[in-house]
Amino acid sequence: MYRWLILIVAAFVLYKLFMGDRGRKKDQEAESKKRMAATGEMVKDPICGTYVPADADIRARDGDKVYAFCSYECRDAFVKRLEAVRTQQQSVTQAKEGEHVGNGQA
| Domain spans, the chain | 1-39, 42-106
Across the range 60-64, mean pLDDT stands at 88
Asked whether the predicted pLDDT for residue 77 surpasses 90, the reply is yes
Report CA torsion sign: 38, 42, 46, 50. negative
What are the pLDDT digits (tens) for 6-33? 999 888 888 887 777 777 888 888 888 7
The pTM of this model reads 0.56
Report CA torsion sign: 44, 50, 54, 58. negative
Cα separation of 90 and 88, whole Å?
5
Contact 21, 29 (CB under 8 A): no
